[in-house]
Amino acid sequence: MPMWLCRAGRYGEFENKFLEDSKVYCTWDSLSESIMQFHTKQDLQQYFVDNNPDVKVKTAMNWASQVWPFAHEMKKAGKSCLVIEKRDHIAGNIYTKEQHGIRVHQYGAHIFHTSDREVWDYVNALADFNNYINSPVAVYEGELYNLPFNMNTFHALFGVNTPKEAKQVIAEQIKEAGVTDPQNLEQQAISLAGTTVYEKLVKGYTEKQWGRDCKELPPFIIKRLPLRYTYDNNYFNDRYQGIPVGGYTQIAEKLLADIPIRLETEYKAFLAETEDTFEKVLYTGMIDEFFDYCYGQLEYRSLRFESEYLPDEDNFQGNAVVNYTERKIPYTRIIEHKHFEFGKGEGTVITREYPAAFTRGDEPYYPVNDEKNGQLYQKYAALAKEQGNILFGGRLGQYKYYDMDKVIRAALDMAAAEIER
């Protein structure tokens, strides 16, 4: 009979479905003694062929070979790995640290969300995730509005109660603005959501974020503005969402267990001092810096975080993330960290997040994806392709914005491709 090796849900919740379809399924528990020895799906398939001579293996998938980021995969595949980290800690921008009994997101709010079941299973194998739902609030001139733009928002802005009424108001504003061929971000936003949403909830926040007037920003930065005509405050549409209980740092610690790490080490400084040679390098720093800015410097935006412990405040703002959309307020949002894990008790830690211009030596957080920088990046990307043993990854190495789940997916796919070579 044909045999399908499946993961029938994290808790076997799809067991009945597989049995109804006359398929054989195996969960992690039934393979716990041996699953970790397999480096490729071919190894796993051969294992079943050798141990089940009367069973025809139609397809097999080694989930274990896809649930660890690149370094862990290479280590498990028999490669010696070394991680170079310029900061004084691991975990990058998702680094969390306990302060006054509260897990603080050191580099801004990070909410894990994905519709990729494989990636969701992967992170849940490394940490238990809570059921946190991202539901930020925006403040404009003392008024509070729900994000994303939904019926709660439209009721507060326009006094409407039904989707039909909200659509009518927004459509009338778009028609009145008369923008048919947007030439900048302001025109683009108005053509998508009307003037009120733009003026109160988009304009000031975006100008702070990018450090430019919206009339000077290209229209493609906002390809769409999600207008949701429901009373649902969940910011994300993804199937799975949450925050690891105990913070994100534990995930990095488990991924890098038994892998040597050099903290506070710059990549090029390390190369200058080491006599070791490396079969393969995964570089996730700035791609223009790697090539000594030979074509010029790409533009990035930076961030500055100011945290404050309030011992006499149990609950400062009632929500983990509150955005401030007025241009005159210098920070874009205030984060109250205890709400990420439904914290109780006395005291709270808040962080104000300030956008900042980037100059060499600053911490780059995200690329400026306009036409000029896109063209410059393509020149560096062409150089990168010529580097036979060097892979470029992440936001800085590939000069693109990545959500956390997309980073993990890219790492798993890259690792799988390298192992198959």
Q: Any idea which residues carry the catalytic annotation?
A: 224, 228, 301, 333, 353, 401, 403
CB neighbourhood size of 351 (10 A): 20
Name the DSSP letter for residue 227: B
Start-end of H helices in 130-273: 151-158, 163-177, 185-197, 203-210, 249-255, 267-273
Contact of 73 with 419, CB cutoff 8 Å: yes
Q: 266, exposed or middle or buried, with CB in 10 Å at 0-12, 13-18, 19+?
A: middle
Q: Which helix (H) or strand (E) holds 353?
A: strand 348-357
Q: Choose among 266, 288, 248: nearest CA to 396.
A: 288
Question: What sign results for the dihedral spanned by CA atoms 203, 204, 207, 209?
Answer: negative
- Tokens read off for 241: 């969402």
Report DSSP state, residue 13. T
Q: Kindly state the tokens that stand for 322.
A: 């509150």
CA atoms of 11 and 148, how far apart (whole Å): 32
Is residue 282 within 8 A of residue 391, CB to CB? The reply is: yes
C-alpha distances in Å from residue 181, one per residue of 4, 51, 58, 187, 207: 53, 65, 53, 8, 21
On the 0-12 / 13-18 / 19+ scale of CB atoms within 10 A, 218 is: middle
